[in-house]
Amino acid sequence: MHTCPEAAHQELRALYERLDAELAPFRRRCDATGRCCNFAATDHMLFVTKLEAAEMARAGAEPDAAQAAAGRCPYLRGTQCGIREHRALGCRIYYCDRTHEEDRNALYERFLKEVRAVEARHGIEANYGPVTKAYVPAEPHA
């Protein structure tokens, strides 16, 4: 279970609001194809921190372990994000259109440091890994 203090979630959501404002000049059109969430097909992966994973889980959507095993985001619903308001930093900065990619990546690195600082302030164990493994139940030990 991904539980983190409510105050950490509040700080994360405020951070997301600031990121969204800073992304405005670099925002690209989204065609809602779902390609960004099909990691196996696009040869990239979304990594999330423990706090981000907990925020995604708060959306209330059940993660799809079969999709995760196939290399797609466990929250992809058709071609749409099933947790859009709770999506992680990487989701917020990624666009299929690579225009301004360096600027967006720089924002990601800066804001990721801030997320890690929020986690440290609230005693949340540092963890950073693929979203496809963040919710898939562990295999039982034989």
Residue pLDDT, tens place only, 75-84: 999 999 999 9
- The pLDDT of residue 1: 46
- pTM for the predicted model, two decimal places: 0.88
- Own/partner contacts of 41-45, CB < 8 Å, gap of 24 or more, are 41/71, 44/94, 45/130, 45/131, 45/132
- The pLDDT of residue 140: 41
51-75 average pLDDT score: 93
111-121 average pLDDT score: 97
Q: List beta partners, residue 77.
A: 80
pLDDT in tens, 1-11: 457 999 999 99
Burial 20-59 (b: 16+ CB within 10 A, else e): eeebeeeeeeeeeebebbbbeeeeeebbbbbbbbbbbbbb
